[in-house]
Structures are given as structure tokens and as C-alpha cells.
Amino acid sequence: MPDTPPFPRPLRLGTRSSPLAIAQVELVKAALLDAHGWAEDAVEIVPVTASGDKILDRPLADIGGKALWTKELDAWLLSGEIDAAVHSMKDVETIRPDDFIIAAMLPRADVRDSLVGAPSIDAIPHGGIFGTSSPRRSAQIRRLRPDLSITLFRGNVATRLGKLEAGVAHATLLAAAGLERLRQPEIGTPVPIDVMLPAPAQGAVGMETLRNNAIVRDLLAGIDDSATSDCVRAERAVLKALGGTCHSPIAALAQIDGGQIMIEAEILSPDGKEHVHEAQRIGRGDEEAAHAIGQKLLSQASPSLRALFEG
């Protein structure tokens, strides 16, 4: 028998209004309806245009960082306008206000970056232009192809593809998970993880609610994928130890391996010339061990690289 919704109104899910964000919140809605046996009208999607989607001509780090993806949804959660916010986990600040809690995550999609505009990184024309706004992708590309120049690429998937089509750059990288969710996976060629380690939490969709809202926390827990949650929380623990900003090139990936987690992480100088990498096996839920990996990366870095994470 279907569960009775706990509210006299629909459960309200807040989300950014980009096509990708809408595709992701639809996945969350479908998962909730399926898990709880609710009718279609038991969940309402409430979109907002985030500040980060409005300002596209400057790097994210120059205009407020990842908070630009979350601050409107944060305000709506606090005011009760929405019951939960749906996020791309890689866009969520490492340290969140105490009022909020990441209550659940969907099963993770493809974690890889997908190259668009060329069949491989080696195939990008010598001396070509690479479009990205990500310090991580920029540093990794510079490490692999120091002959390439970098130009700023911000905006949603359609905007970046339009810039590529207009010849602003020869190639760019997009998250493979995003292309899958937009049903456009054929646009790009996934880059192997051993070539480019992804951003922490890439490919994961999370649901955040008020810490004291036990009813909504329980509802969201019903769709939580524990493997994704354990891995993403480990990656975010590495990120927290590094204390990096949006200017800091950081990559990390945790994967379930037997009953444990295998985690890889790296930090790079912006020009890609310095690269510090660490890989360890840790226990599931052992965020302290993951935090120590971030600290170890810093201890192995040069003073100039370490300074990127200490400011």
C-alpha cells in the first residue's frame, strides 16, 4: 500500500533552474515517488535562478565561489519556502551552515570528465585554445599539454557548447554525468580516470534539508545510496583538510573496493608543473582517515603550492 505523504501539501524540492539541475531534480522526485509509493503530485519542484548562473563573464572564485550556487536555496530552506534543496555535490561548499545537513545522495553517475571538440587530449591542435573555468581542469590540461592556452568558459552546457561551435576554443571538458543526464552522452569522449582525476563529488546529486527537520530527513534517507554517500563524504573530507578555495586545483575520487574505500587525491599548481598525488585504502565512514590524506598532500607540496591552500 502506498505511504501517505506526511504533509497536507506537496514536498517541495528546491533547485537551480538550469536544464541540468532540472534533470537532476526530476531524478530525485522520481526516486521519492517510487520509494514511498506516492502519487505524482506529492512532490513539487521549485526552481530558482542562482547567482552563479547570472554572472558568466568572470571566474567563479572572483565573484563569491561555490556559495553562488547555494545561497538562494539556503535562504528558501531557512524561510520554509522549500523542504529540501537538490544540489550537484561538487558545487556545494565544503563547510556548510550548521542549520543544514546533506541527508541523502542518489546513486552516483559517471565520474569522468568528457572531452568535447577533439577525440582525445593529444588530438587538440598544437598551440590550440582550451576552454574551461575550472582551476582543476586548467591545471590538469596544462600538465598534459603545456602548449595549449586557456580561455574562460562559463555557463550551462548549452552555453559552453555554443562557444565551442563559435570557435572560441578548440576543445573543452564537461562532466560525463551531466551529458548523460541531459541525454547527450554522444557529444563527448570520456577521459580515463588515470589521465584526469575528477573533481571531488563529481557525478553525485545530493539532497540537503534543515538539520532539525526529522520528517524530511527520514523521507530523504529512504532514497540514499550508501556507497555514494560514503565515497563523496570521504572526498569532501579530503577537500576540507586542504582548505582550498575555488582557485585551488584539487581532484579526488573514492570508490568502494570490497568492504573498504580506495581513495585517490591530487593537488596541482595552476600551471600544472607541480603535481602531488596520494592513494590509500580507508574504512567506510572513516572521514578522519580521509582528512589525513589531504593533510599528507599538503605536507608533500612545495611552499608555493602549499600557499594556494593556506590563504
Condensed to tens digits (0 to 9), the pLDDT of residues 248-284 reads: 899 999 999 999 999 999 999 999 999 999 999 999 9
Side chain identity at residue 268, one-letter code: L
Which residues touch 4 (CB under 8 Å, ≥6 apart)?
Answer: none
CATH class (in words) of the domain with range 236-307: alpha beta
CATH class (in words) of the domain with range 113-190: alpha beta
Please write the tens of the pLDDT for every residue from 239-252.
999 986 556 899 99
Radius of gyration of the CA atoms of the chain, in A:
19
Confidence of residue 93 (pLDDT cuts 50, 70, 90): confident
Model pTM?
A: 0.90
**Catalytic residue selected from 74, 83, 91, 113:** 91
Q: Where in the chain is the domain with CATH 3.40.190.10?
A: 11-107+201-224, 113-190
The CATH number given to 11-107+201-224 is 3.40.190.10
- Judge contact between 160 and 117, C-beta under 8 A: no
The dihedral sign for the CA sequence 215, 21, 175, 178 = positive
pLDDT on residue 1: 39
Q: Give catalytic status of residue 41 as yes or no.
A: no
